[in-house]
C-alpha cells in the first residue's frame, strides 16, 4: 500500500541536487575536520612562535655578550697600544669597529619588548660613546706628545663607560628572561586548550561522517547501480526506453543515456548510409584502380577503375591473389615484398610493369597502404593503381631527345676540335712566312710592309680564335687539362698585374692593383686563373676609351674569393648585359671595325671559371663596370709554403662584399 508519509521525505531527498546532497553529506563533517585541522595549525603556530621567541632571546643574549666582549677587548688593546705604541694591540679595537655595528643592528631588529627596547637605546648611546672615546685615545696616542695624566684620565673614563655598558646589558638579560618565562607559560595554556578542542572536533567529525555514509548509500548508491546497468545495455547496442523519475543530476544523467541510446542508433543508420555512398563513389572511379586486399593479399573489393585498367571483372578476380597482376619475372618476389614494406612502414609505393587480363603490359604506379584497427591489428591493405604508360612513353622520348642533343653537342665539339687542328697547320705556315718577311721588311716598299703587317696581324687573330675554340671544345667535351691545386691568389694577382701592364698602357689608361696584405689560398688552375684575369683586363682596356683607369683586386664572398676587374668606362646597357657571356656575340657591332676581338673571351672565361667550381658575373657601377669571377677558398696547414697563419692573414687581405 502506498504510504505518502513515508514516501514524501524520500522523494524530496531524491529530487535534491547532488550539490545540496554533497553539502549535507560532506560539508558538515568536512567543516568539523577543517576546524580540527585549524586548531592543530594554530597550536603548531603558537609553538613555533614560542620557539622563535626562545631563539630570539638566545640571540639577544649572545649579541649583547658579544658587544660587551668586543668593547672590553678593544679597551684592553687600546690600553696596550697607549703603553707600548705597538700597533698589534690595536687588532681587537679594529675588530670591534667592524663587528659591533652589525651586532647592534641585529639587536635592533630582534628586540620587541618595550622595556628591553629602552635599555637597548641606552646601550646604543653608551656603545657609541665607548667606541668614540677609544678612537680619540688612539688618535691622541698616535701624535705622541700627550701627557701621561691625560692618558690615565681618558682610560679611566673609558673604564667607567664600559661598566655602564655592562650594567645596561645585565638589565637587558634580566628583562629578556622574564619575557621568555611569560611566553612559555602562555603557550602551554593555549596548547592545552587546543588539544581539548581538537579531541571534541574529531569526535563530532566521526559522528558526522558515519551519518554521511548512511545518507550516501541509501540515496545515491542504489540509483548509480541502476545507471551502471543502463550503461552496460547501451554498450551492447540495446535501445533504452525507460525514463527515470528523479530530477537530480543522477536522474538527468539516466535521461541523457536514454536519449544517447536513441541518437547512437540514428547515427549508426547514417553511418551505414554513408558507407554505402562511399562504396558507390569508389566503385565508379575510372582513372584509378582502387581495391582492397585481405592480410594475405587476396582481393576483397574491386572498383570500375580497376576493371578498366586491368581488364578483370569483379566476379573474376575477387578471392584471387593480387600477384596475378605482376609479370612472370617479378611475380614470385615483388608482391610479397610490397606487402612486407607496407606492414613495416604503413605504405609502399612502386612503379613497374603490370599485366592485364589479356596478357598485355602497362606501366603502373602502385601504392599499397596497410589498414589497421584501433588496437593496431592489421585488417588488410588498400591498393591504388594508376596507368602511367603514356607518361613513361613521354619520358623515354625525352631521354632519346636528350641523347640526340648530347650526341649533336659532342659532334659539334669534335668538329670544332678537328677544324681548329686542320686550320692550325696552314696558319702556322702563314705566320712563319709572315715573320720571315717581317725580318726583311726594310727591303720592301711601304705598301708591302703594310701588307706584311696585315698578314701577321690577321694570322695572330686567327690563331687566337682557334686557341679559344679549342679551349671551349675541350671544356665542353670534359677533357680540359685543368690541374686543380691550392694557389696563392695574392701572388697570382701580382703576376697578372705585371702581364697586364702593357695591355692597359697601350690604351693610355692607369692600371691599379689592390694589393693583398698576405697569402690568400684558393683552389684552381694557375694558368687558367691567369688566363681569365688577362681576358677581363684586356676587355676593360679595349672598351674603356673615355675613362682613366683599370683596377684589379679581390673581395671575400663567404666561402669564395672574388677576383674583380673594374673600369670607369662607358659601361654596358642593362638590356645587353645578359648577352655578355654568349660565344661570338660581341656587343657594340657598330664598333667591331675599331675594336679587335673574337667574341670568345668572356664565353671561354665563363667555361673555365665553372670548370674550377667557381662562377663569373658582371655588375654595373655608377660609372663604368665591374667583372668578377670566383674561386673556392682553401685552408692551409701550419707548415704550408703559403704561410703558417694563412687563415688569419686571409681574413684581412681582401675586403668583404
Q: Which of 1-10, 48-57, 59-68, 575-584 has the highest mean pLDDT?
A: 59-68
Strand residues in 420-479 grouped as ranges (E): none
Name residue 352's beta-bridge partners.
364
Are residues 59 and 193 both part of a single domain? yes
Are residues 358 and 292 both part of a single domain? yes
pLDDT at 540: 87
Dihedral (CA of 260, 263, 267, 269) sign: positive
Are residues 514 and 617 both part of a single domain? yes
Phi, psi dihedral angles at 312 (to 5 degrees): -90, 140
Are residues 70 and 15 both part of a single domain? yes
**Contact status, residue 469 vs residue 477, Cβ threshold 8 Å:** no
Are residues 451 and 504 both part of a single domain? no
- CA atoms within 13 Å, Cβ hemisphere of 44: 7
Decide if 392 is inside a domain: no
**Contact status, residue 599 vs residue 584, Cβ threshold 8 Å:** yes
Reply yes or no on whether the pLDDT at 210 is more than 60. Answer: yes
Reply yes or no on whether the pLDDT at 244 is more than 80. Answer: no
Q: Which of 444, 469, 494 is the last residue of a domain?
A: 469
The overall average pLDDT reported for the chain is 75
Where b means 16+ CB within 10 Å and e means fewer, 278-292 reads eeeebbeeeebbbbb
Decide if 236 is inside a domain: no
| Residue 292: closest CA among 319, 310, 315, 311 | 319
Decide if 230 is inside a domain: no
Name residue 625's beta-bridge partners.
567, 620
Rounded to 10 degrees, the C-alpha dihedral 325/326/328/331 comes to: -110
Are residues 24 and 134 both part of a single domain? yes
Q: Which of 209, 241, 267 is the last residue of a domain?
A: 209
Reply yes or no on whether the pLDDT at 637 is more than 70. Answer: no
For cell 688618535, what's the residue? 139
CATH, residue 311: 3.30.450.20
Decide if 255 is inside a domain: no
**Contact status, residue 474 vs residue 480, Cβ threshold 8 Å:** yes
Decide if 279 is inside a domain: no
Confidence of residue 651 (pLDDT cuts 50, 70, 90): very low
Are residues 187 and 329 both part of a single domain? no
Are residues 380 and 426 both part of a single domain? no
Q: Whole-angstrom Cα distance, residue 44 to residue 38?
A: 10
pLDDT tens per residue, range 372-408: 988 888 989 988 888 888 888 888 888 888 887 777 7
The answer for residues whose C-beta is within 8 angstroms of residue 611's C-beta and 6 or more apart is 475, 480, 482, 528
Total count of residues recorded for the chain: 657
Confidence of residue 25 (pLDDT cuts 50, 70, 90): low
Q: Which of 159, 192, 209 is the last residue of a domain?
A: 209
pLDDT tens per residue, range 172-207: 767 767 776 776 676 677 667 667 767 776 777 677
> What nine digits make up the cell of 456?
701577321
Are residues 112 and 151 both part of a single domain? yes
**Contact status, residue 293 vs residue 335, Cβ threshold 8 Å:** no
Confidence of residue 638 (pLDDT cuts 50, 70, 90): very low
pLDDT at 121: 81
Q: Whole-angstrom Cα distance, residue 53 to residue 71?
A: 27
Reading phi first (left if > 0) and then psi (alpha if -120 to 50, else beta), residue 327 is in: beta
Angle, to 10 degrees, between the axis of helix 148-216 and the axis of helix 114-143?
150
Q: What's the whole-model pTM score?
A: 0.36
CATH, residue 140: 1.20.120.1730
CATH, residue 649: 3.30.565.10
| Residue 588: closest CA among 578, 600, 598, 576 | 576
Decide if 403 is inside a domain: no
> Which of 50-59, 577-586, 614-623 is the least confident region?
577-586
pLDDT tens per residue, range 224-233: 777 777 777 7
Q: Whole-angstrom Cα distance, residue 415 to residue 596?
A: 25
Are residues 202 and 301 both part of a single domain? no
**Contact status, residue 234 vs residue 261, Cβ threshold 8 Å:** yes
Strand order in the sheet with 378-387: 289-293, 378-387, 361-372, 347-355
Strand residues in 221-318 grouped as ranges (E): 289-293
Task: Name the percent of the chain lying above pLDDT 90.
Answer: 9
Residue 15 belongs to domain spanning = 11-209
Are residues 29 and 172 both part of a single domain? yes
Reply yes or no on whether the pLDDT at 528 is more than 70. Answer: yes
| DSSP H or E stretch at residue 400 | helix 389-439
Name residue 362's beta-bridge partners.
354
Are residues 600 and 626 both part of a single domain? yes
Decide if 2 is inside a domain: no
CA of residue 644 relative to chain centroid, distance = 36
pLDDT tens per residue, range 47-70: 677 667 767 777 777 777 787 788
Q: In the chain, how many domains are there? A: 4
- ∠ CA 478-481-482, rounded to 5°: 95
Q: Which of 10-24, 27-41, 157-171, 557-571 has the highest mean pLDDT?
A: 557-571
Amino acid at each position: 500500500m502506498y504510504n505518502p508519509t513515508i514516501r514524501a521525505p524520500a522523494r524530496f531527498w531524491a529530487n535534491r541536487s547532488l550539490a545540496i546532497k554533497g553539502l549535507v553529506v560532506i560539508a558538515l563533517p568536512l567543516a568539523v575536520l577543517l576546524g580540527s585541522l585549524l586548531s592543530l595549525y594554530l597550536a603548531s603556530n603558537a609553538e613555533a612562535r614560542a620557539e622563535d621567541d626562545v631563539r630570539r632571546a638566545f640571540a639577544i643574549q649572545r649579541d649583547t655578550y658579544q658587544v660587551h666582549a668586543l668593547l672590553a677587548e678593544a679597551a684592553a688593546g687600546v690600553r696596550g697600544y697607549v703603553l707600548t705604541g705597538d700597533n698589534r694591540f690595536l687588532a681587537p679595537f679594529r675588530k670591534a669597529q667592524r663587528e659591533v655595528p652589525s651586532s647592534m643592528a641585529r639587536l635592533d631588529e630582534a628586540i620587541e619588548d618595550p622595556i628591553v627596547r629602552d635599555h637597548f637605546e641606552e646601550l646604543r648611546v653608551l656603545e657609541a660613546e665607548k667606541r668614540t672615546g677609544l678612537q680619540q685615545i688612539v688618535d691622541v696616542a698616535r701624535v705622541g706628545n700627550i701627557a701621561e695624566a691625560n692618558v690615565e684620565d681618558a682610560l679611566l673614563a673609558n673604564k667607567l663607560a664600559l661598566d655602564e655598558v655592562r650594567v645596561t646589558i645585565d638589565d637587558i638579560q634580566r628583562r629578556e628572561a622574564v619575557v621568555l618565562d611569560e611566553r612559555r607559560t602562555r603557550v602551554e595554556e593555549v596548547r592545552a586548550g587546543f588539544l581539548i578542542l581538537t579531541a571534541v572536533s574529531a569526535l563530532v567529525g566521526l559522528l558526522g561522517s558515519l551519518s554521511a555514509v548512511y545518507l550516501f548509500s541509501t540515496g545515491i548508491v542504489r540509483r548509480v547501480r541502476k545507471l551502471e546497468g543502463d550503461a552496460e545495455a547501451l554498450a551492447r547496442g540495446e535501445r533504452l526506453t525507460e525514463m527515470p523519475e528523479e530530477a537530480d543530476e543522477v536522474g538527468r544523467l539516466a535521461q541523457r543515456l536514454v536519449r544517447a541510446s536513441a541518437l547512437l542508433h540514428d547515427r549508426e543508420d547514417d553511418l551505414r548510409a554513408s558507407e554505402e555512398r562511399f562504396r558507390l563513389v569508389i566503385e565508379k572511379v575510372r582513372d584509378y584502380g582502387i581495391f582492397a586486399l585481405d592480410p594475405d593479399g587476396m582481393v576483397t573489393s574491386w572498383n570500375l577503375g580497376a576493371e578498366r585498367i586491368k581488364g578483370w571483372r569483379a566476379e573474376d578476380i575477387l578471392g584471387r591473389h593480387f600477384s596475378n597482376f605482376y609479370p612472370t619475372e617479378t611475380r614470385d618476389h615483388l608482391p610479397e615484398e610490397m606487402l612486407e614494406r607496407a606492414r613495416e612502414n604503413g605504405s609502399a609505393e612502386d612503379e613497374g610493369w603490370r599485366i592485364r587480363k589479356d596478357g598485355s603490359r602497362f606501366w603502373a604506379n602502385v601504392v599499397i597502404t596497410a589498414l589497421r584497427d584501433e588496437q593496431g591489428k592489421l585488417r588488410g591493405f588498400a591498393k591504388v593503381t594508376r596507368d602511367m604508360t603514356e607518361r613513361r612513353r613521354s619520358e623515354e622520348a625525352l631521354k632519346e631527345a636528350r641523347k640526340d642533343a648530347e650526341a649533336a653537342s659532342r659532334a659539334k665539339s669534335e668538329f670544332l676540335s678537328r677544324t681548329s687542328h686542320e686550320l692550325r697547320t696552314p696558319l702556322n705556315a702563314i705566320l712563319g712566312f709572315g715573320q720571315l718577311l717581317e725580318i726583311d721588311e726594310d727591303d720592301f716598299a711601304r705598301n708591302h710592309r703594310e701588307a706584311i703587317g696585315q698578314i701577321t696581324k690577321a694570322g695572330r687573330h686567327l690563331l687566337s680564335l682557334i686557341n679559344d675554340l679549342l679551349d671551349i671544345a675541350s671544356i665542353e667535351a670534359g677533357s680540359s687539362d685543368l690541374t686543380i691545386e691550392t694557389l696563392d691568389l695574392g701572388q697570382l694577382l701580382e703576376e697578372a698585374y705585371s702581364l697586364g701592364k702593357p695591355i692597359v698602357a697601350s690604351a693610355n689608361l692607369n692600371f691599379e692593383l689592390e694589393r693583398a696584405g698576405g697569402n690568400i689560398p684558393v683552389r684552381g688552375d694557375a694558368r687558367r686563373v691567369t688566363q681569365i684575369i688577362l681576358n677581363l683586363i684586356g676587355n676593360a682596356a679595349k672598351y674603356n676609351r673615355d675613362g682613366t683607369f683599370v683596377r684589379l683586386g679581390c673581395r671575400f664572398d663567404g666561402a669564395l674569393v672574388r677576383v674583380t676587374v673594374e673600369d670607369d668606362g662607358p659601361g654596358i646597357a642593362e638590356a645587353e648585359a645578359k648577352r655578355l657571356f654568349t660565344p661570338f656575340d660581341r656587343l657594340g657591332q657598330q664598333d667591331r671595325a675599331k675594336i679587335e676581338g673574337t667574341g670568345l673571351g668572356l664565353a671561354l672565361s665563363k667555361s673555365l671559371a665553372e670548370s674550377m667550381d667557381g662562377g663569373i658575373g658582371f655588375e654595373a657601377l655608377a660609372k663604368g663596370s665591374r667583372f668578377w669571377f670566383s674561386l673556392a677558398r682553401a685552408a692551409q696547414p701550419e707548415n704550408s709554403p703559403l704561410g703558417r697563419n694563412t687563415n688569419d692573414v686571409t681574413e684581412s687581405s681582401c675586403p668583404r662584399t
